[in-house]
Amino acid sequence: MKLHEYQAKEVFARYGIPVQRGVVISRPDEVDRLDLRYPVVVKAQVLVGGRGKAGGIKLAANPGEARRHAQAILGMSIKGERVTRLLVAEAAKIEKEYYLAFTLDRAARRMVAIASAAGGIDIEEVARATPERIAKHSVDPSLGFLPFHARELGAAIGLRGDHLTAFAALAASLYRLTVQEEAELAEINPLAVADGKLVAVDAKLILDDSAAFRHKDRPTNEEMTDLERAAREAGLSYVELDGDLAVIGNGAGLVMSTLDVVAHFGGRPANFLDVGGGATTENMTAAMEIVLRKPGVRALFINIFGGITRCDDIARAIAARPPRVPVAVRLTGTNEEEGRRILEGAAIHAFIGPEEAAQEAVRLARGARS
């Protein structure tokens, strides 16, 4: 489970990691009631990265400016996620940005500490372009992350003196947090030097869901998106991604392989929905309605392997209410002849092979784009 920045910072604060004072709001007029020192930073609380670049983070020198930014950012859609809450925090006077994270190195079966003096930017990009600017320490679980490990790591990214001492204490706290909270990732980007002190300006925390039963006090975040809730109510399993091709299939395995085939042909799924075995015309109608409600969907790929699910039922749903975007259908199995006939009646061609259908779907998503 991924936490929002403000939730992650609450956890950070419990572990003594310095964060800015801040308040979460959901309406612009709440700005007036805040007891914060200006300038402040107004930050969209969405579970995607790169909020700054997307215009979801703004500095404000006074309440009027903060209100205007709040007005602009609330309701904004960042990578498909609508902003309903803002963190308003006392702005840090940033002198330098570092990067620090603990994450699971699955291959090594250990936690690894990652640090860099190139903070505030996409760490994957740093790793690609200038790998020498990244320092790592693989944590031996029988030793833990010891004070001298923390100092070595800090020294490796150029920290000296008081900053190095503060970094070592902070890194030790972040390690303790990672282990005790059973996090898969605890990331601070940027970890800033501001007014001569280190402060976690951003916070990202992904908690291990398999350990949830040991942590009854975890935030019950994971608010579903409206679409995810609608899907659950309709008894459909639905997952949001950030591409432009909506995907419907029947059966978890088929849906997974559908995503692979789409990716193979260079497509980017916007979401995917499993209508399950024995899907009816009604299920299929609800499924199309849900996947197409996601903004940014440019084509729809329906991949049905009829078993208990009857191809004619599926086809009836598609033909009755043709989607608002171009659609590629792969239909095979039980009653496929009739299904095909129904679709032909609606001028929709149904493919037999998943590859050709996927290729067509990817082409449609691209074509609709230009």
- The two tokens of residue 235 are 């008894």
Given 5, 181, 184, 187, the catalytic residue: 187
Q: Is 128 exposed, middle or buried (0-12, 13-18, 19+ CB in 10 A)?
A: exposed
Q: Which tokens sit at 301?
A: 């790929």
Instruction: Give the count of residues interacting with Mn ion (CB under 5 A).
Output: 2
Closer Cβ to Mn ion, 4 or 316, answer by number: 4
Question: CB of 234 within 8 A of CB of 204?
Answer: no
Asked if 36 and 27 count as a contact pair (C-beta separation under 8 A), the reply is no
Active site residue 99: yes
The backbone torsions φ and ψ at residue 176, rounded to the nearest 5 degrees and listed phi first, read: -60, -45
202 binds Mn ion (CB under 5 A): yes
Strands laid side by side in the 237-240 sheet: 237-240, 269-274, 245-249, 299-306, 327-333, 350-351
Q: Which of 281, 334, 287, 328 is nearest to 306 (CA)?
A: 334
Options 48-56, 61-69, 136-144, 340-348: segment touching ligand GDP (CB under 6 A):
48-56
Residue closer to ligand GDP by CB (options 54, 317) is 54
Among 34, 42, 57, 60, binds ligand GDP (CB under 6 A): 57
From CA 256, how far away is CA 274, in angstroms rounded? 10
- Residue 202 or 336 having the CB closest to Mn ion: 202
Which one of 6, 98, 99, 238 is the catalytic residue? 99
Residue 51 binds which of ligand GDP, Mn ion, none (CB < 5-8 A, kind-dependent): ligand GDP
List, in sequence order, every beta strand (DSSP E) within 183-263. Answer: 183-194, 197-200, 204-207, 237-240, 245-249
User: Where in 65-219 does DSSP place strands (E)?
Assistant: 77-78, 81-82, 86-90, 94-105, 110-116, 134-138, 183-194, 197-200, 204-207
Nearer to ligand GDP (CB atom), residue 80 or residue 326: 80
Whether 15 is catalytic is no
**190 scored as a contact of ligand GDP (CB under 6 A):** yes
Site for Mn ion in 166-195 (CB under 5 A): 189
Out of 34, 66, 74, 91, name the contact with ligand GDP by CB under 6 A.
91
Which one of the spans 149-157, 201-209, 237-245, 273-281 is the region binding Mn ion (CB under 5 A)?
A: 201-209
As measured in angstroms, the least distance from the Cβ of 242 to Mn ion is 17
Q: For ligand GDP, which residue has the nearest CB?
A: 52
Query: Which residues are marked as active site?
Result: 99, 187
Residues that bind ligand GDP (CB under 6 A): 41, 49-52, 57, 59, 91-92, 94, 97, 120, 189-190, 201-202
